[in-house]
Amino acid sequence: MARAVLNAGAPGNGQPPADVIAVQGTLLRHRTTRNTWGIAQFQVEQGPEEINVGAELTVVGATVGAVAPGASLKLEGRFERHVRFGLQFKVERLENLGVQTGWAAANWLLRLDGVGRVLADRLVCTFPGDRLLEVLNTPPQDDAEDPLLKIRGISASKAQVIRESWATVGRTFNPEHLRYLEGDCGLTRWEAQSVLKLASKRKVEPRELLEQDPYGLTELRGWGFPRADRVALKAGMQRDAPARLEAAGLYVLRKVCSDEGHTALSRKQLIRHTVELLATSGDKVFKALGSLVQKALVMVSEEDGRLLVCDPDLYLAERQILRGVRRGSR
């Protein structure tokens, strides 16, 4: 029989506290989620005397859906009585204390692509108790000797994804970050995880990353300018911001050169394509191009009376090839 939430012998005579209280315990399972919002069952391990330790509490809040079952949480909020669902704890502040058991770690891994319930159960069975946490927290000296490879269904590439995700956002993360990324910015779970990884790598907050350098996301696999630009605009980037114009110019230069097999593009073509892409003015793109030249991100040269813009790396590679061809023809 489930233990009652409220302690009848406490000073409140079995009534829920009226003020904000703090409780600590483990998220057991979600009842429903919508993006990061959710309703879940929570087992109380610490709290005021009005609450029975060990009781299972229904919690609801804006970031409850972002936390994987098994995570240890500290919650602050108030009790309220729902007309249909009864006594609930409305979470006003959630602190993720981290994944502290192997079962919790397996549940966290379920959020990764390619990790289903069967694979999570295999991990728990192969590494019982806290052994799974130990495996995840200890990078292998040699990738070929990774203990995760003992699990049927885990390839070397999947093991790498699991370890990278765990190292950056798996142990503890702030659910508010996920609420901002998925809720405010409308990112998919995969996109949000990518942002969290890059922010962790750069040691900055996700919001700071998207506000200051959203186009840095293009260095990640699966991210190009169109995806990064969509995220940047949702994060508040102005359509005529210099950073956006410069990123678009670089994208156009590289894409058109790649599609047409060139190493350079005329300045006139670059400006025209960028204006079409962003629906902005040529003067603004011209100014952004000048900034790219000053930063040495592009080079401008004159050939047959035309000004050509090229990627410095491609330009140097082309020159080296031409020098080699000339030597070989002597």
pTM: 0.59
Backbone angles phi, psi at 171, to 5 degrees: -70, -55
Provide the β-strand partners of residue 91. 77
CB 92 within 8 A of CB 62: no
Half-sphere exposure of 199 (CA within 13 A, CB side): 22
Tell me the per-residue pLDDT of 44-86, one tens digit each, with 9 for 90 and over. 888 888 888 888 899 999 888 878 787 888 999 999 988 888 8
Average pLDDT over residues 115-120: 84
Cα dihedral 37, 178, 223, 148 sign = negative
Mean pLDDT comparison of 156-170, 191-205, 312-326, highest-scoring range: 191-205
DSSP 181: I
Q: Determine contact, residues 105/132, Cβ cutoff 8 Å.
A: yes
Tell me what the pLDDT averaged over the chain comes to. Answer: 84
Question: In the predicted model, what is the mean pLDDT of residues 116-129?
Answer: 86
CATH code, 21-99: 2.40.50.140
Tokens linked to 313: 């790396």
CATH of domain 251-329: 1.10.10
Q: Which of 45-54, 191-200, 267-276 has the highest mean pLDDT?
A: 267-276
For the chain, domain boundaries: 21-99, 102-158, 175-234, 251-329
Task: Determine what percent of the chain is predicted with pLDDT higher than 70.
Answer: 89
Task: Name the phi and psi angles at 278, rounded to 5.
Answer: -100, -10
Q: Band the pLDDT of 263: cuts 50, 70, 90.
A: confident
pLDDT at 11 over 80: no
- Give the model's pLDDT for residue 14: 66
CA distance 310 to 300: 7
Q: For 72-97, give the DSSP string.
A: EEEEEEEEEEETTTEEEEEEEEEEEE
Spell out the SS3 assignment of 233-285. HHCCCCCCCHHHHHHHHHHHHHHHHHHHCCCEEEHHHHHHHHHHHHCCCHHHH
